[in-house]
């Protein structure tokens, strides 16, 4: 069912790409809730998916009209997304966003052979934390002191880079 919905939604991408849509800008680590207005007063199949860099579509969650259960894509971290609705809107809560959550998010309704989509863009800014490490001072004998070094570590909230410590050194020529 979701593959059909994704294929239909992606075929609508040309029409959507020229349109204006709501953009939300948040910082990494925040929780964000996206919403789209409900256009049906009765129970219909609802879903959320996202399009990353205009190339990769991933279903996030969907609920069939006849079911009370929301089905989440197992490829995502459990509990990261939560789809809810009330009488007037459908919501997608994303917990602790990071830069990889930046994408176009599609909220959709499928009923009686008709697909209705709403699109919103989420832009997540990264947080960079720079730490200066104190110089190693196990021996203060001038004969054993080395060139000054600047050590820093860059950390991200979720997936650390392969090399998080960088050491810069300088040499003085007399």
What does the pLDDT read at residue 153? 39
| pLDDT (0 to 100) of residue 93 | 97
pLDDT above 50: residue 151: no
Residue 108 and residue 120: Cα distance in Å, rounded? 12
Residue 70 confidence (pLDDT) above 90: yes
Question: Does residue 7 surpass a pLDDT of 70?
Answer: no
- Asked whether residue 16 carries a pLDDT value surpassing 50, the answer given is no
pLDDT tens sequence across 29-60: 999 999 998 888 888 999 999 998 888 899 99
For the chain, what is the radius of gyration of the CA atoms? 24
pTM of the full predicted structure? Answer: 0.63
Distance CA 9, CA 60 (A): 14
CA distances from 119 to 37, 103, 151, 167 (A): 11, 10, 44, 44
Find out whether 156 and 126 touch, Cβ atoms under 8 Å: yes
Hey, what domains does the chain have and what are their CATH numbers?
2-125 (2.60.40.10), 129-169 (no CATH)
- Contacts (Cβ under 8 Å, ≥6 apart) of 171: 147
Predicted pLDDT of residue 39 = 82
pLDDT at 154: 39
Rounded mean pLDDT, 56-66: 92
Contacts 24+ apart (CB under 8 A), 13-22: 13/51, 16/104, 16/117, 16/119, 17/54, 19/119, 21/104, 21/118, 21/119, 21/120, 21/121, 22/119, 22/120, 22/121
pLDDT digits (tens, 9 = 90+) for 73-126: 999 888 999 999 998 899 999 999 999 999 999 999 988 888 888 999 999 997
């Amino acid at each position: 069912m979701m593959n059909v919905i994704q294929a239909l939604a992606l075929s609508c991408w040309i029409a959507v790409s020229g349109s204006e849509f709501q953009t939300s800008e948040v910082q990494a680590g925040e929780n964000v809730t996206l919403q789209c207005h409900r256009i049906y007063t009765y129970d219909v199949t609802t879903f959320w998916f996202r399009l990353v860099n205009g190339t990769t579509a991933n279903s996030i969650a969907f609920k069939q009209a006849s079911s009370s259960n929301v089905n989440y894509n197992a490829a995502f971290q459990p509990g990261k997304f939560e789809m809810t609705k009330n009488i007037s809107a459908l919501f997608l809560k994303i917990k602790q966003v990071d830069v990889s959550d930046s994408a176009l998010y599609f909220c959709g309704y499928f009923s009686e052979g008709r697909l209705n989509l709403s699109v919103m863009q989420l832009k997540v800014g990264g947080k960079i934390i720079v730490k200066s490490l104190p110089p190693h001072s196990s021996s203060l004998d001038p004969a054993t002191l080395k060139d000054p070094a600047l050590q820093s570590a860059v950390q991200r909230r979720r997936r650390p880079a392969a090399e998080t410590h960088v050491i810069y050194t300088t040499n003085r020529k007399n």
